[in-house]
Amino acid sequence: MGQARRRKMSGEMDLWFHGTNESFSSWLLPAPVSAGNAGLLSHSFISLSKDSVLAQGAGDIAGGLCSATLAKDARVLDLRKKSPDSMQHWELVCKTEMGGKHPLTADYNTWEEGCKSGEILILRTEDQQYKEELKKCEKIVKSTSGYTLQERQKAFLDVQNFPREWIESVIAPGKELGYDAVICSEIDRTQASGRKTCTNLYVFNTNVISAPSWIKKPDMLAYEMAIRELEKSDLYSTGSN
């Protein structure tokens, strides 16, 4: 019996992975923002991946990793495949402020290819005003003089929230269309083998996934120590107010 066949029979191939710096026994939505990420936009979905390495990157400080299974009767929209609902989803994305500025939303075929490759989740824009705003924020964050503390703190959060807002724009329409979850690819650039396209699941309805099963519990002591170090940063301190 082949390895893939054995994995399928054991149920391993049905697992979705979630990396985190928090310890919990049940899924919560809207997704809570941890103390170390105060000020970041909260997502309307829970992110899981078929790739455990990609998932674990989300728990890069405490190293937490858990798994869950998806209910067989869950309503799932696969953005990588053409369908009337997938097209409607794309149309809703195009109507958002950021969706109308991304080059991969230009037409439905380009959108579908972006969802297959994972490129769609990377924030890109041809809008000059938006590009200048993002460039300005990045400059302020890197500057050590010439800006007030409040300006630097706002820019620090904006640089992180711009891509989060874009991912929310890409994924959230599935909920509006009545789906429990959507599937979309993501590109992982951190793996030793180089760029890898991973299959991700974004869940709006916590009733369609099983309770988290811990593979590795987060190291909360390490996390608390990291938070204390972050609190020494002027960018972090007021950002958590």
Contacts of 189 (CB under 8 A, 6+ apart): 195
How many structural domains does the chain have? 1
Beta-carbon contacts of 54 under 8 Å, excluding residues fewer than 6 positions away, are 17, 19, 186, 188, 190, 191, 196, 198, 200
Q: What is the pLDDT along the chain (241 residues), one digit of tens a residue?
A: 444 443 443 344 589 999 988 889 999 998 776 655 667 788 999 999 999 999 988 877 778 899 999 999 999 999 999 999 999 999 999 999 889 889 999 999 999 999 999 999 998 887 777 778 878 888 887 887 788 877 877 887 787 788 889 999 999 999 999 999 999 999 998 777 778 999 999 999 999 999 999 999 888 777 677 767 666 665 554 333 3
Q: Which of 198, 128, 204, 130 is nearest to 166 (CA)?
A: 130
Task: Report the C-alpha gap between 18 and 205 in whole angstroms.
Answer: 16
Instruction: With beta carbons less than 8 A apart as the criterion, state whether 48 and 23 touch.
Output: no
H/E/C letters for each residue in 174-235?
HHHCCCCEEEEEEEECCCCCCCEEEEEEEECCHHHECCCEEEECCCHHHHHHHHHHHCCCHH
Instruction: Decide if 155 contacts 173 (C-beta within 8 A).
Output: no
DSSP string, 91-132: HHHHHSTTGGG-GGGSSHHHHHHHHHHSGGGS-----HHHHH
Quote the pLDDT of residue 140. 84
pLDDT value of position 203: 98
Can you give the pLDDT at residue 114?
Answer: 97
Per the DSSP assignment, residues forming a β-bridge with 181 are: 76, 203
| SS3 state of residue 56 | helix
Expressed as residue numbers, the domain containing 195 is 3-239
Determine the pLDDT at residue 134: 79
Which pTM was predicted? Answer: 0.82
